[in-house]
Amino acid sequence: MLSASSYSITPTGVLHNMSAPPRTSFDSRVSAVTGSFFVFQLTQPAKPLTKRNLARPIFDCGLDNIPPREQVEAAVRNMPAFLIGVRSHSTDNSKYYALTDTVFSIAVLSRRVGEIYVRSRQPDYSAGHLLNQKPFTAEVWEGAL
């Protein structure tokens, strides 16, 4: 524990050691906007889930059309390191939007942080987390699904 006499604040507000290298680095690739987007979204089940089921992994809730966890994890390996979510307003959804399947929707929504998908993030597969999110929309990327 620091005592008042052993701790002081420099009043100048100068940051020191700014020459230190960053701890994290990443490469990014920027491409032209195509105007086509993937939408990652799960539909609400027909029957309401209990509080207990919402806390469980979605794979264990007995819902129809939920793929096995292994299939979702395999899909993650084929996706970019991160995707930035976008909001695009279009009147012709069939031309600009493609709804992804359940496998890729679970993969993205489980690793979503706000408007960013991070592949290396620890996934949250709970039914409550996955079913209570707004759709995540990302621009179609090179080598798309």
Q: Give the Cα separation of 36 and 138 in Å (integer).
A: 9
pLDDT value of position 128: 94
- Report, as an integer, the average pLDDT of 52-68: 91
Query: Of all helices (H) and strands (E), which one includes residue 72?
Result: helix 69-76
pLDDT value of position 89: 61
Q: Give the Cα separation of 87 and 37 in Å (integer).
A: 10
Band (pLDDT 50/70/90 cuts) for residue 85 is confident
For all residues of the chain together, what is the average pLDDT? 78
The answer to whether residues 97 and 135 touch, using CB atoms and an 8 Å cutoff, is no
- Burial status of residue 138 (CB atoms within 10 A of its CB: 0-12, 13-18, 19 or more): buried
Q: What's the start-to-end Cα distance of the chain, in Å?
A: 54
Structure letter (DSSP) for residue 68 = P
Verdict on whether the full-model pTM lies above 0.75: no
Compute the residue count for the chain: 145
